[in-house]
Chains A and B, each alone.
Chain A
Amino acid sequence: AQTVTQSQPEMSVQEAETVTLSCTYDTSESDYYLFWYKQPPSRQMILVIRQEAYKQQNATENRFSVNFQKAAKSFSLKISDSQLGDAAMYFCAYRSEGAQKLVFGQGTRLTINP
């Protein structure tokens, strides 16, 4: 079974600076998808960014980008120009090709210091 590990329970960053959240995963599959979700205090999960394993190019969405290292099974999230609204729990998730369920990591709580 696939597993997702986020080794940083908590992270903090100064407003306007850059922070990187780590995620590693374990799989024997070659085709899959990876995601970062944000969960603010409202509890609603919001998709931040996604990556298809077959794509070598790292995904980017505005201030959010990923460093996808397939061989190392690593999928880190970089947040540039951090804003107070970025404060939330961040979850890394994995989905097998053809599967429906997402496998989540334990989450990283991100605090933005003004």
Chain B
Amino acid sequence: GAGVSQSPSNKVTEKGKDVELRCDPISGHTALYWYRQSLGQGLEFLIYFQGNSAPDKSGLPSDRFSAERTGGSVSTLTIQRTQQEDSAVYLCASSFRPGAASSYNSPLHFGNGTRLTVT
């Protein structure tokens, strides 16, 4: 079946513009995560959804960042008034159930990410 799908694959935007990044998780996966990977760095947690609720949004770096999830499926990460330091790869992941990152039987599935470049 299809994996986690993210769009666009690449996005170039001008400083100050708003951008929306989309994540289509695997069908039936209730948990959804957003991570950010800056150049040469590891992944930085942004937000976690269980269904349409976000019990943990502690990683969002500023109020310019927001995310929503509708229908327990698609999620959109929005960055308002983009800055150059927002340039990074934004990765989405989903799992059948929470805590499944620890399970081989229900592992965390990652998408291929969106590379955002703010000029």
Please report the C-alpha to C-alpha distance between residue A114 and residue B98 in the assembled complex, in whole angstroms.
41
**Would you call B91 and A45 a contact (CB within 8 A)?**
yes
**Contact segment of A12-20, A62-70, A80-88, A97-105:** A97-105
Please report the C-alpha to C-alpha distance between residue A91 and residue B89 in the assembled complex, in whole angstroms.
15
Measured CB to CB, the closest approach of chain A to B35, in angstroms, equals: 8
CB 8 Å contact bits of B30-63 with A (1 = contact, 0 = none): 0101010000111111001000000110110000
Size class of the A contact interface (CB-based, 8 Å): 20 to 34
Q: Which residue of B lies closest to A101 (CB)?
A: B45
**Would you call B112 and A44 a contact (CB within 8 A)?**
yes
Most central of A6, A47, A105 by chain B CB within 10 Å: A47
Q: Which residue of A lies closest to B104 (CB)?
A: A50
CB 8 Å contact bits of B12-33 with A (1 = contact, 0 = none): 0000000000000000000101
Contact of A33 among B48, B59, B89, B102 (CB under 8 A): B102
**Would you call B101 and A106 a contact (CB within 8 A)?**
no
B72 at the interface (CB under 8 A from A): no
**Would you call A107 and B42 a contact (CB within 8 A)?**
yes
CB 8 Å contact bits of A41-66 with B (1 = contact, 0 = none): 01111110010100000000000000
Which residues of A lie under 8 Å from residue B93 when comparing CB positions? 45
CB 8 Å contact bits of B84-113 with A (1 = contact, 0 = none): 000001010100001101101001101111
A4 at the interface (CB under 8 A from B): yes
Known contacts A45-B110, A95-B101, A95-B102; A100 and B31 CB within 8 A of each other: yes
Q: What are 20 A-B pairs at a CB distance below 8 A? A: A6-B42, A43-B89, A43-B91, A44-B111, A44-B112, A45-B93, A47-B104, A93-B43, A100-B31, A100-B99, A100-B101, A101-B48, A101-B58, A102-B43, A102-B101, A103-B45, A104-B43, A105-B42, A107-B41, A107-B42
Extra A-B contacts (5), CB below 8 Å, given A93-B43, A101-B45, A101-B48: A43-B89, A52-B102, A102-B45, A104-B43, A106-B42
**Which B residues have a C-beta under 8 Å from some C-beta of A?**
3, 31, 33, 35, 40-45, 48, 55-56, 58-59, 89, 91, 93, 98-99, 101-102, 104, 107-108, 110-113, 115
